[in-house]
Chain A
Amino acid sequence: MADTINDRIKEILEKSPVVLFMKGTPLFPQCGFSNQVVAILNNIGIEYDSVDVLQDPEIRQGIKVYSDWPTFPQLYIKGELVGGCDIITEMFENGELAELAQKENIARK
């Protein structure tokens, strides 16, 4: 059982270079912290996939174990956890997030 969840997570992370696990969707975020990270990604204008963990309890639980990170949102770039809302906000404000996106050749919208 655990293997299938991990396989699903790996598949999601391999499918897109930038993945946001969040509460709600980019159009209708269900949490202020998820909303903030969506706004940041839209602001720097990179393409990303999102996963609504409220619609998928298995992923919601599985990703916490996978990443050793208990809260949402969680932003992944090239399969690596970059951070939650605090870290992403700080990296946006000091320019590191845009730099990282450029370094990893993330497609722009």
Chain B
Amino acid sequence: MNMQNPSDATLKPVASLIKARLEAAFSPKKLIIEDDSNKHAGHAGHQHRSESHFTVTVVAQAFENESRISRERMVHKALGDLLPDRIHALRLKLSPPA
């Protein structure tokens, strides 16, 4: 498993929840979680929380032969109550292994 995040210890709580749920659901070949929250500080969705906006890249076998809509639905399901309670905005880059 190729983890692109510098170190798990640097992941903040919401990001580590995302990571744990996606790993459990997809055993991804590649998983990158970027916290974009600081770009959105001060706007209505930010809600004074440090973590709210994420870009998540997942490369997993499970996405093979699935439409884009269906790939995103699979991720939404895996994230469960994190979305939209803990995650205000999520940018997803989902693909099967090349």
Chain A residues with a Cβ under 8 A of chain B: 30-33, 68-71, 81-87, 90
Contact = CB atoms under 8 A, between A and B. Distances in A.
Nearest to A80: B69
B97 interface: no
Chain B at the A interface: SS class: helix
Contacts of A71: 76, 83-84, 89-90
Interface residues of B, number: 15
B69 A70 contact: no
A86 B92 contact: yes
B29 interface: no
Given A33-B89, A83-B68, A86-B72, 16 more contacts: A31-B44, A31-B89, A32-B40, A32-B89, A68-B73, A69-B72, A71-B84, A71-B90, A81-B69, A82-B69, A83-B69, A85-B91, A86-B92, A86-B93, A87-B69, A90-B68
